[in-house]
């Protein structure tokens, strides 16, 4: 009896010591989730981490899409002070991983059976040299068009399936005095719109060849030219100069508050509608932009963990990764974030119609090979090429005098840009 109780006490004491150690431990996390919906989703993780005995040290870098965050991270790592974990998407994970900066999460992946839980197209991006270095939150779909329901009922008539139909609808809205498209002209938002248009106009094959392989022949195809023209035409349905430097969530707020009818944006926009108390179908509609109905531009949000001495992740980093892949967290986080969970054990019944559609389309498009990674959100190209594309497409957006042929010529040159590792 004495032996048993001392064993129990020993075990309890062990737990106490661990808890005491953990309680004093900060875990610093860099991320760009600062909008209303994003922050709400992230709170789910903060409170769970607190429950596990860790203190969340926030390193939030504002700027949707994460371009600024990636620059800040580069500076921190160069000073030899990486945070414990950082929000990162596919291509950035590979780049930091190749520089041997990331720690190994294989033990957690094995324990939670990530390989069988997560689709292979996702696990590939989370591993470097065969080892897991990042924990994934979700799948986001970038090709969505959000429509204010009242505006749709009053002016739209029917859901547009082609760009021509889209422009007819947008013209009707314009005539009725409502701004058709809410947009922010930041380079990443401009480029995110362009890649969606290119996918819609050119289809998956042109998207892959022209934007991911940067293949000369594909870039010169009439599809790219047409996409640039559609993209330029869309600008006349925005509020022009007023859109300069507008954040994506401010643009979403315009649709939420009946100041504009629509926004092209990934499904994190849904998080803003929810945070404002709006419901899918009742207050807003989600449709795939013209031509992209049968394809899926995907993004996986994840936190990569930096090496803190040893190759293996620390106990704090492992706890963080474990929490991220826990089914109850995946459900709560993604309900607020607007994305769909990765863990196979999440019940989708609680999700809205857009989320359910996204989840079904993710599976269907991966089966018919129309699931493509987003270039705008760091899922496909080395950072130097991605940045050059964003800058060029943005210049084209703001300079109406730039001939389409010049933009095509300059896209062709991007392939030659060095691909040495940088962030």
* Contacts with ligand GAL, residue ranges (CB under 6 A): 32-33, 38, 64-66, 89, 140, 248, 268, 299, 301, 377
Rounded to an integer, what distance in angstroms lies between the CA atom of residue 401 and that of residue 198?
Answer: 21
* Shorter beta-carbon distance to ligand GAL: residue 140 or 246: 140
Supply the DSSP string of 156-206, one letter for each residue.
I-S---SHHHHHHHHHHHHHTT-EEE-----HHHHHHHHHHHHHHHHHHHH
Least separation in angstroms between CB 186 and ligand GAL: 11
Rounded to an integer, what distance in angstroms lies between the CA atom of residue 341 and that of residue 339?
Answer: 7
Backbone phi and psi for residue 333, each to the nearest 5 degrees, phi listed first: -60, -50
Least separation in angstroms between CB 15 and ligand GAL: 35
DSSP 304: E
Nearest to 305 by CA among 314, 296, 297: 314
* Shorter beta-carbon distance to ligand GAL: residue 32 or 132: 32
CB 331 within 8 A of CB 347: yes
* Upper half-sphere CA count for residue 110 (Cβ side, 13 Å): 6
Rounded to an integer, what distance in angstroms lies between the CA atom of residue 70 and that of residue 61?
Answer: 9
> Which residue has the closest beta carbon to ligand GAL?
64
Least separation in angstroms between CB 269 and ligand GAL: 9
Rounded to an integer, what distance in angstroms lies between the CA atom of residue 276 and that of residue 333?
Answer: 17
Least separation in angstroms between CB 38 and ligand GAL: 5
Distances (CA, A) of 93 to 99, 107, 112, 137, 291: 10, 19, 21, 14, 31
* Shorter beta-carbon distance to ligand GAL: residue 84 or 272: 272
Rounded to an integer, what distance in angstroms lies between the CA atom of residue 128 and that of residue 125?
Answer: 8
* Shorter beta-carbon distance to ligand GAL: residue 64 or 373: 64
Region for residue 347 given its phi and psi (left: phi exceeds 0; alpha: psi -120 to 50; beta: otherwise):
beta
Least separation in angstroms between CB 125 and ligand GAL: 12
Angle (nearest 5°) at CA 79 between 73 and 81: 70
Q: How far apart are the first and last CA of the chain?
A: 60
Rounded to an integer, what distance in angstroms lies between the CA atom of residue 31 and that of residue 66?
Answer: 8
* Shorter beta-carbon distance to ligand GAL: residue 140 or 235: 140
* Shorter beta-carbon distance to ligand GAL: residue 73 or 219: 73
Least separation in angstroms between CB 111 and ligand GAL: 26
Least separation in angstroms between CB 70 and ligand GAL: 10
For residue 347, count CB atoms less than 10 angstroms from its CB and return exposed for 0-12, middle for 13-18, buried for 19 or more.
exposed
Helix (H, G, I), strand (E, B), or coil: what is residue 139? strand
Least separation in angstroms between CB 377 and ligand GAL: 4
* Shorter beta-carbon distance to ligand GAL: residue 71 or 226: 71
Least separation in angstroms between CB 6 and ligand GAL: 50
* Shorter beta-carbon distance to ligand GAL: residue 89 or 292: 89
Helix (H, G, I), strand (E, B), or coil: what is residue 386? helix
* Shorter beta-carbon distance to ligand GAL: residue 33 or 163: 33
């Amino acid at each position: 009896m004495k032996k048993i109780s001392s064993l129990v006490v020993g075990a309890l004491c062990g737990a106490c010591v661990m808890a005491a150690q953990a309680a004093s431990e900060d875990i610093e996390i860099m991320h760009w989730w600062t909008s209303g919906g994003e922050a709400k989703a992230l709170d789910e993780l903060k409170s769970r981490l607190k429950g596990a005995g860790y203190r969340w040290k926030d390193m939030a870098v504002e700027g949707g899409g994460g371009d600024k965050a990636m620059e800040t991270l580069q500076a921190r790592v160069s000073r030899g002070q990486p945070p414990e974990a950082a929000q990162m998407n596919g291509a950035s994970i590979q780049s930091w991983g190749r520089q041997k900066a990331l720690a190994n999460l294989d033990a957690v992946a094995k324990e939670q059976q990530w390989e069988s839980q997560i689709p292979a197209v996702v696990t590939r991006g989370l591993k470097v040299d065969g080892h897991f270095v990042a924990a994934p939150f979700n799948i986001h779909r970038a090709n969505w068009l959000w429509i204010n329901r009242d505006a749709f009922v009053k002016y739209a008539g029917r859901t547009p399936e082609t760009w021509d139909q889209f422009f007819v609808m947008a013209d009707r809205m314009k005539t009725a005095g409502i701004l058709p498209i809410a947009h922010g002209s930041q380079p990443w938002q401009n480029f995110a719109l362009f890649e969606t248009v290119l996918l819609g106009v050119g289809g998956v094959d042109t998207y892959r060849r022209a934007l991911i392989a940067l293949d000369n022949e594909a870039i010169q195809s009439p599809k790219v030219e047409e996409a640039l023209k559609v993209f330029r035409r869309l600008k006349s349905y925005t509020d022009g100069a007023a859109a300069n430097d507008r954040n994506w969530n401010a643009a979403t707020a315009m649709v939420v508050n009946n100041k504009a009818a629509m926004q092209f944006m990934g499904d994190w926009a849904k998080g803003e509608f929810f945070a404002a108390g709006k419901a899918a179908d009742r207050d807003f509609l989600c449709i795939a932009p013209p031509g992209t109905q049968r394809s899926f531009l995907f993004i996986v949000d994840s936190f990569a963990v930096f090496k803190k001495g040893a190759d293996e992740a620390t106990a704090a980093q492992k706890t963080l990764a474990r929490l991220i892949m826990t089914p109850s967290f995946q459900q709560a986080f993604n309900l607020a974030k607007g994305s769909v969970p990765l863990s196979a054990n999440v019940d989708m019944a609680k999700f809205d119609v857009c989320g359910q559609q996204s989840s079904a389309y993710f599976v269907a498009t991966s089966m018919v090979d129309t699931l493509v990674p987003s270039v705008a959100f760091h899922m496909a190209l080395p950072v130097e090429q991605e940045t050059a594309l964003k800058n060029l497409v943005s210049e084209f957006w703001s300079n109406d005098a730039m001939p389409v042929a010049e933009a095509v010529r300059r896209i062709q040159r991007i392939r030659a840009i060095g691909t040495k590792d940088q962030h």
